[in-house]
Amino acid sequence: MTETISSKVLIEWIGILVIFSIISAIGNVIGYHYPFMESLVGMLILCGISLAGLIIETYTPWDIPSILYISILGLLLALPISPVSDFIIYYTTRVELISLTTVLLAYAGISMGKDLGDFKKVGVKGVVVTFFVIFGTYVGSALIAQFVLMYTGMI
């Protein structure tokens, strides 16, 4: 489905991503002692890639979610043959991966607020099943990875 992004939406996307960049950069200074400006540039690169992914999703006819465009774009830009890879890698390593989840989960906590009633309804049972879903997915993958890594002689 092709549609056009109104300039209003585009400005809001950029607004949120800039706010996210600033908060994350401050988090990186406090938690990991990276220079603020370098972290901020790193964040703006990551947000630029996201924005590109969102725009590509809107203007391409097929039904592929933006998360795939973002992943592939990030991967290509960082490949050793990419002319901008050194620049991108230098600045994005000034952003700790985990610092982004700290900000994300702060928003998640606030957004959880309105769903607290739903959580109570689902109750402990739903939480237990969810934990087993994650546990099963993770352990299943780890066991197969170990087996194949040993078989192919990588470890």
Partner 1 sequence: MDIKNKYTPDTEDLIKSVKDYKLHFTILFAVIISEYIGIITLDFMGISIVLMPLLYSLILAVAFYLAKPVYWIKEKQSERSSAIMMLLIGPLLAKLAIASGQNIEIIFNAGPAILLQEVGNLGTIFAALPIALLLGFKRESIGMTSSICREPQMAVVIDKYGFTSPETRGFFTVFLIGTVLGTPFISLLVSILAYVLPLHPFAFGMACGIGSASMNAAAVASLSTIFPQYATQMEAFSGMANLIAMVTGMYVYIFVAMPLTEGLYKRLEPPINALLKRKKAKKESC
Question: What's the closest the beta carbon of residue 37 comes to partner 1, in angstroms?
Answer: 18
Q: How far apart are CA 67 and CA 70, in angstroms?
A: 5
Question: What's the closest the beta carbon of residue 2 comes to partner 1, in angstroms?
Answer: 17
Q: How far apart are CA 57 and CA 15, in angstroms?
A: 19
Q: How far apart are CA 58 and CA 41, in angstroms?
A: 26
Q: Judge whether 56 and 69 are in contact, CB under 8 Å.
A: yes
CB neighbours (10 Å) of residue 50? Answer: 19
The terminus-to-terminus CA distance of the chain in angstroms comes to: 47
Choose between 37 and 68: whose C-beta lies nearer to partner 1: 68
CB neighbours (10 Å) of residue 14? Answer: 13
Residue 42 tokens, joined: 């790193």
Question: What's the closest the beta carbon of residue 137 comes to partner 1, in angstroms?
Answer: 4
Question: What's the closest the beta carbon of residue 48 comes to partner 1, in angstroms?
Answer: 8
